[in-house]
A and B are shown apart, each in its own frame.
Chain A
């Protein structure tokens, strides 16, 4: 790749990693996040004072770092975490966005939501309890939602006397299970022993586990590729907005027609031959811009304006691809769907599917089976309730340009909208 796509940014050229944490409060998930924020000096004095006061009020001796992720009054009253929260920290070489999702079974939808934007998942295991049903559930969901990098964190090592044999046994159990579900073949899996409470192997190694010579958690995070770094799908550019400033007083702009959007995958250069779907018009890229900046090429996840050589009638919802790409408009799709709404899915109703910048009305054609997220068994079903995951085929009123989710997360994903409430009721991953 040429380097001209990077803007003048030599002072701040650190990349960004989005990751999620899977586990329940009992696994020490909140403590892990609190510890990461604390040890990277993200927690400032006034916040620390606030949580240490609360810790004292609740009769605790040490500062409870898990309070840092304890967000809303509504939750504090119930003592549970009901939603995905986003946290931020930076190491100076990298910025991190943590999606913090509660891990109980009834919160499958929150895990799927958190996983949708993550490129790495930390799966927490309590060293005293080993691989549990919930570990399998978290791993399956991380796999389903296409997270590339899995860190299996065996936590609470302090409570098993930092015993290496215990750790080795848990790693072996997990590896067996990962082989069974195809996770081990498809993903990068790493293991680490830790104590989030004491801080062993998070930011600092400390001295309790000399038998472990692998990376600390923070070293793993620093080395993990960002999503845009390892994406290998073809060029896909869903048009978000068409800029036609023809009323402008500037005569040069009379014929300006800029197609604005985000490159969801692949890369593009001036001169490339492109096709606009679904109509199939062909042209060549005349220019690529970000504001005033003219680029020779651009890559995944950049928001740009593309100008074409020919005057082509294109609008929001169209997709620009490289000429010769095999992608075709389709009017039937098959997908794994996670149901997000308290109102069960109705096979009689018409929903709206939003895919990239495009929408289509959709009806369920068939439900193949439902997946039990604990046993991973396939079960016959005729309905879908909140937190259920099922393989479903939909008939579409308008054609969509899709890739399979495993090949291309952005072009394989969609949401289901209930038009009566406008709520987002389902999340789909195209098979």
Chain B
């Protein structure tokens, strides 16, 4: 077969081009999209991709964070700083407001709040009339995500039905929805944790400090390392050691950043992005396996949360 031989794009260039294409499809097809932005590494990559997709124009969507109230102050500060640098609008909606409204009821006060983000997210979608939420989920993160579409359809209760997803062929995305329904768009679906770190390295992206190795008091709880005595923005202190729990000072970093009560750090001396890239290449534990306690309750826990409207 006669072909013009091109120099192939590098995998990062290809992934970047695909993600930019997806972001522009959201902008072209949806009337009121929003970009979910937590200050975490995946959503920071998406912000850079959005700059490449839409500058010198403004982003055709605001940023929104669903705050559990159990986030690290460093991450919240970084989130605000990044939104200000970009000059883009940041909406923050809080799980604690949903608790005050009575739409979120905790079983115990220190229960992980990640799963309750779904309620607050759906309330925010309704409040602003968003027809599409752009998120940083990746297919390699968890088994239940391997079959996720790039444009994933949610019904008016925000539910994901794995048996009722639209076929997705070529790069022809179908982001149509009726009023009240919602599309979740995942521009970095095809990225792995390694791709994310390589992209952060290549693009020189800034990150919240807790991604890098630092010393911290740790307690062992439920078979995982937990950061001890974390002071929240409202002055409360959580993860206070219980009687019999030993506090150890260790050098750690976070591989994922979520609700404090269910995101565990890993032992690491990687204090630069290039050291993290190396460490990621040689690690023996998956990203969520090592660090996300909320995925360990059962083999199907992510699938269950997604059905209930979680990202």
Report whether chain A binds chain B: yes
Which of A128-136, A209-217, A274-282, A414-422 touches B?
A414-422
B300 interface residue per 8 A CB criterion: yes
Q: List B contacts of A5 (CB < 8 A).
A: 7
Q: List B contacts of A248 (CB < 8 A).
A: 56-57
Q: List A contacts of B168 (CB < 8 A).
A: 113, 424
Residues from 37 to 60 in A contacting B, C-beta threshold 8 Å: 44-47, 50
Whether A9 and B24, one on each chain, are in contact in the complex, defined by CB atoms closer than 8 angstroms, is no
Output the least CB separation between A296 and chain B (Å): 14
Q: Which one, B6, B194, B300, contacts A300 given CB within 8 A?
A: B6
Residues from 68 to 118 in A contacting B, C-beta threshold 8 Å: 69, 71-74, 76, 82-88, 90, 94-95, 97, 109, 112-113, 116-117
Q: List A contacts of B170 (CB < 8 A).
A: 116-117, 409-410, 413, 415
Q: List B contacts of A409 (CB < 8 A).
A: 170
Whether A90 and B303, one on each chain, are in contact in the complex, defined by CB atoms closer than 8 angstroms, is no
Q: List B contacts of A230 (CB < 8 A).
A: 1, 3-6
B285 interface residue per 8 A CB criterion: yes
Q: Which one, A6, A50, A112, A291, contacts B51 given CB within 8 A?
A: A291
Q: List A contacts of B9 (CB < 8 A).
A: 6, 15-16, 226, 228, 299, 301-302
Instruction: Report the separation of the CA atoms of residues A260 and B57 in the bound assembly, to the nearest whole angstrom.
Output: 11
Instruction: Report the separation of the CA atoms of residues A413 and B167 in the bound assembly, to the nearest whole angstrom.
Output: 14
Instruction: Report the separation of the CA atoms of residues A109 and B55 in the bound assembly, to the nearest whole angstrom.
Output: 38
Whether A12 and B10, one on each chain, are in contact in the complex, defined by CB atoms closer than 8 angstroms, is yes
A232 interface residue per 8 A CB criterion: yes
Whether A45 and B202, one on each chain, are in contact in the complex, defined by CB atoms closer than 8 angstroms, is no
Residues from 50 to 77 in B contacting A, C-beta threshold 8 Å: 51-58, 60
Instruction: Report the separation of the CA atoms of residues A188 and B202 in the bound assembly, to the nearest whole angstrom.
Output: 36
Report the count of interface residues on A (CB-CB < 8 A): 88
Report the count of interface residues on B (CB-CB < 8 A): 71
User: Which has the most chain B C-beta neighbours within 10 Å: A14, A86, A186, A250?
Assistant: A86
Whether A86 and B6, one on each chain, are in contact in the complex, defined by CB atoms closer than 8 angstroms, is no
A311 interface residue per 8 A CB criterion: no
Q: Is the interface of B mostly helix, strand, loop or mixed?
A: loop
Output the least CB separation between A235 and chain B (Å): 12
Q: Which one, A83, A95, A186, A260, contacts B147 given CB within 8 A?
A: A83
Q: List B contacts of A292 (CB < 8 A).
A: 55
B16 interface residue per 8 A CB criterion: yes
Instruction: Report the separation of the CA atoms of residues A112 and B167 in the bound assembly, to the nearest whole angstrom.
Output: 10
Whether B171 and A12, one on each chain, are in contact in the complex, defined by CB atoms closer than 8 angstroms, is no
Residues from 194 to 245 in A contacting B, C-beta threshold 8 Å: 225-226, 228-232, 240-241, 243-245
Contact pattern, A 1-27, Cβ under 8 Å of B = 1, otherwise 0:
101011111011111100000000000
Whether A228 and B14, one on each chain, are in contact in the complex, defined by CB atoms closer than 8 angstroms, is yes
Closest to A226 in B: B8
Given A15-B11, A232-B3, A424-B169, 7 more contacts at CB 8 Å? A6-B13, A15-B9, A83-B165, A85-B146, A90-B194, A95-B192, A424-B168
Can you list 24 A-B pairs with a CB-CB distance of less than 8 A? A7-B13, A13-B10, A15-B9, A15-B14, A44-B283, A46-B289, A71-B146, A72-B143, A74-B163, A82-B163, A84-B147, A86-B147, A86-B189, A109-B167, A186-B1, A231-B6, A245-B56, A267-B6, A292-B55, A303-B18, A355-B172, A414-B172, A424-B168, A424-B169
Give chain A's interface residues, CB within 8 Å of chain B.
1, 3, 5-9, 11-16, 44-47, 50, 69, 71-74, 76, 82-88, 90, 94-95, 97, 109, 112-113, 116-117, 148, 186, 188, 225-226, 228-232, 240-241, 243-245, 248, 250, 253, 256, 258, 260-262, 267, 290-292, 299-303, 316, 340, 354-357, 409-410, 413-415, 417, 422-424, 427
